[in-house]
Amino acid sequence: MFENIKLSRLPGYGKLFVALFTVLVILVVLWMVLLGAMESGIIGEPVQRFDYEAAEEALDQEIEAIMADEQAVTAPNWTDSGQQEPITPEDEEIFEEYAEEELPFWELFREKVGEGLEHISSQALIFFALGLLFLFTGYSIGIKKFFYWLLAILIALYAIGTSGHGFCWPADFLFYSACPLILIILFIMAIMVLKDLGRKA
């Protein structure tokens, strides 16, 4: 059935649609490469990630310093007025509560899982659309299966890596290795579609 449907046999407006879509996919890939280069610091300054552990340590040290000074009767007011506000028993309770709190692991992990869902959703849509066009190219069944399996596995691994990024080194490895491979595969498939589009029917 699919053997009789080829991109090279499409009418002119059909080829125009396929060509424009494929070029847009290439632009998406290039934009993602640019974004990755900017976040890693290859282009411009590297993005500073919020260090939760360092923030927690700094908060603990600040609370310890405040609690250690039993003679303190005033606390700095962080406005520019220069005035000071007295420390109340309620303030001490708040400091103690902050000191007892731990890093919200599951909250951060839930946010990462949400990021992974966003990535796998958008990448699955590109996989479906570009893969559908690739289905109607003149390349062999073996080549089509190879790219389908490879891209699907990489997208799934990248989603796993995104969900666990920052929590364990295997997830970090998947995060940093699967994404460039996905972009490379998408770029190659897009070029192959454009090349097949120019074949004579």
Tens-of-pLDDT digits for all 201 residues of the chain?
A: 556 677 777 777 888 888 888 888 888 888 888 877 777 677 767 655 555 566 667 777 777 776 666 555 555 555 555 555 555 666 655 555 554 445 566 677 777 777 778 878 888 888 899 998 888 888 888 999 999 999 999 998 988 888 777 777 788 888 888 888 999 999 999 999 988 887 765
In 3-state terms the chain splits into helix, strand, coil percentages (rounded to 5) of 75, 5, 25
Q: Is the pTM value of this prediction over 0.75?
A: no
8-state DSSP, 2:
G
DSSP-assigned letters across all residues of 87-154:
--HHHHHHHHHHHH----HHHHHHHHHHHHHHHHHHHHHHHHHHHHHHHTSSS-HHHHHHHHHHHHHH
Query: What is the residue extent of each domain of the chain?
Result: 7-45+104-197, 53-100
